[in-house]
A and B are shown apart, each in its own frame.
Chain A
Amino acid sequence: GQQVMQIPQYQHVQEGEDFTTYCNSSTTLSNIQWYKQRPGGHPVFLIQLVKSGEVKKQKRLTFQFGEAKKNSSLHITATQTTDVGTYFCALGGGSQGNLIFGKGTKLSVKP
């Protein structure tokens, strides 16, 4: 079945530094979603990317979908302590709409 590789697994940054997490697939994706899970919490939808080369921004977060629709990235500019959590990419489009999650990137931010 479809799989997605997400790197890095962990990222420790100083507050104010940038952060990027990457997802890569060996197959062309119809779409990719990004979720954030705070420690002890549940995943919360951030965004969905559908178009080749798509770039979307949410304040300090920038999401990209590769031209070949095989990779995606999430970039956070000038991290804040509120950005702490695990960021997951997820592939949609299972036969019944289920998601396939990447392993996630756990972000810690040192004040």
Chain B
Amino acid sequence: GAVVSQHPSRVICKSGTSVKIECRSLDFQATTMFWYRQFPKQSLMLMATSNEGSKATYEQGVEKDKFLINHASLTLSTLTVTSAHPEDSSFYICSALTGGVTEAFFGQGTRLTVV
């Protein structure tokens, strides 16, 4: 199946700093990527949909100024958590769709801890 690489896998940052998470499709072009957040023992909650070359679509309740998404190419989407606070600590996962295939391919996830 298609491979999606997410980096970093773990990051610890100080409160008030920003963290950038990268999501790359390694062997296919992804016109659409999705960013999810998963709190401990909970399900995946869609944060935003990222489309190459256009602004991301954010789900209700997700602050677009806090979670900056850039999808500059067909193989790369980035999520930047700005001015991170401890309540932003979570597992962030990206996924991508390939053309003509409906299953989602997920990155390995990034565990963010804000101290």
Contact = CB atoms under 8 A, between A and B. Distances in A.
Contacts of A58: none
Interface in B93-110: 93, 95, 97, 102-109
B44 interface: yes
A97 B107 contact: no
Interface in A63-91: 88, 90
B106 A92 contact: no
- The contact size tier of chain B is 20 to 34
Secondary structure dominating the interface of A: loop
Contacts of B104: 33, 43, 45, 90, 99
Given A96-B51, A99-B46, A102-B43, A43 B106 contact: yes
B32 A45 contact: no
A96 B103 contact: no
B109 A48 contact: no
| Residue among B51, B104, B105, B107 with most chain A CB within 10 A | B104
Contacts, number: 52
B89 interface: no
A45 B105 contact: yes
A106 B34 CA distance: 23
Contacts of B49: 94, 96, 98
A97 B51 contact: no
Given A88-B43, A103-B42, A97 B106 contact: no
Contacts of A43: 44, 93, 95, 104, 106
Given A33-B104, A98-B49, 5 more contacts: A42-B107, A43-B93, A101-B45, A104-B43, A106-B41
Interface of B: 1, 32, 34, 41-46, 49, 51, 57, 93, 95, 97, 102-109
